[in-house]
């Protein structure tokens, strides 16, 4: 398999495994979409880590495979390519991408579908499609400007230049830069901490933020108030209030129940 799903501590680790650099061919894209669909429906997975085996998170699309595709073939395929990464972006669980080596082209676009991004020292990030006479086609022109702002996104897309992990941190493209040996443990710890939290509230928070960004503040506020009121019916909210009153803040032991 080109992508593996491992579950431990309530965390689902989605691991790309296509040596040497996890080039994103059609089979890998379809596998990502299938596993994301599975994860979305699993109650035993409270948070997700995206990671890559070997030398890189993902160095981009499989250019050799794409060389054989003409316009008609790409028109037929482009929606499936976007849908694979959108399936990750729409996971109800929190998602952290653990980046190392290279996160370029489609690799960066996959990372952009996560909620947060951790990068190992020495990681290179970028959207080099312009150097092939193309533009990003798996969400980069939309998710990148929403994250770092339109002018910074345009600079990266127009030039195809690569950023260091530290440069990516400075513009908000990644959220933490870590020594390589700490990358996966820190990503797993972040995810495991959330997996132990109130599942319905976490999903509500993610939906409210994402809906507001996509559909506008008025729609986002409507989603927020609906979820806010609805969460008062959950067992986790009852436990959170009980624990706060009896034990002080931050000590609730959630059962992850709605």
Q: Is 106 a catalytic residue?
A: yes
Torsion on CA atoms 97, 148, 109, 174, rounded to nearest 10: -20
> Which of 61, 84, 98, 153 does the annotation list as catalytic?
61
Does an H or E element contain 30, and which?
A: helix 26-40
Active site residue 129: yes
Task: Mention every residue, 6+ apart, whose C-beta is less than 8 A from residue 124.
Answer: 101, 102, 103, 104, 162, 163, 164, 165
The answer to whether residue 52 is catalytic is no
* DSSP secondary structure of 158-187: HH--EEEHHHHHHTTS-SEEE-HHHHHHHH
Both tokens assigned to 220 = 């986002």
Which listed residue (52, 98, 107, 109) is catalytic? 109
- Please list the residues that pair with 176 across neighbouring strands: 118
Reply yes or no on whether 109 is catalytic. Answer: yes
Catalytic residue among 60, 106, 220, 240, which?
106
Q: Which of 12, 60, 98, 129 is catalytic?
A: 129
Positions annotated as catalytic residues are: 61, 106, 109, 129
């Amino acid at each position: 398999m080109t992508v593996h799903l491992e579950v431990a501590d309530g965390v689902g680790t989605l691991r790309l495994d296509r040596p040497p650099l996890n080039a994103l061919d059609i089979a890998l894209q379809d596998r990502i979409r299938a596993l994301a669909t599975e994860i979305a429906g699993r109650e035993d997975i409270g948070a997700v880590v995206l990671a890559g085996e070997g030398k890189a998170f993902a160095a981009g699309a499989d250019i050799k495979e794409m060389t054989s595709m003409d316009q008609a073939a790409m028109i037929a395929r482009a929606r499936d390519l976007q849908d694979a990464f959108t399936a990750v972006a729409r996971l109800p669980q929190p998602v952290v991408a653990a980046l190392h080596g290279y996160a370029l082209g489609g690799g960066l676009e996959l990372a952009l579908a996560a909620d947060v991004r951790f990068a190992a020292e020495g990681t290179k990030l970028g959207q080099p499609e312009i150097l092939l006479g193309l533009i990003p086609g798996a969400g980069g022109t939309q998710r990148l400007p929403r994250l770092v702002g339109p002018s910074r996104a345009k600079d990266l897309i127009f030039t195809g230049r690569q950023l260091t992990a530290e440069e990516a941190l400075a513009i908000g493209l990644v959220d933490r830069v870590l020594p390589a040996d700490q990358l996966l443990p820190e990503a797993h710890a972040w995810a495991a901490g959330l997996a132990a939290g109130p599942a319905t509230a976490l999903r509500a928070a993610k939906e409210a933020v994402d809906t507001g960004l996509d559909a506008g503040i008025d729609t986002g506020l409507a989603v927020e108030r609906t979820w806010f009121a609805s969460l008062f019916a959950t067992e986790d909210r009852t436990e959170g209030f009980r624990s706060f009153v009896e034990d002080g803040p931050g000590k609730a032991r959630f059962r992850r129940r709605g």
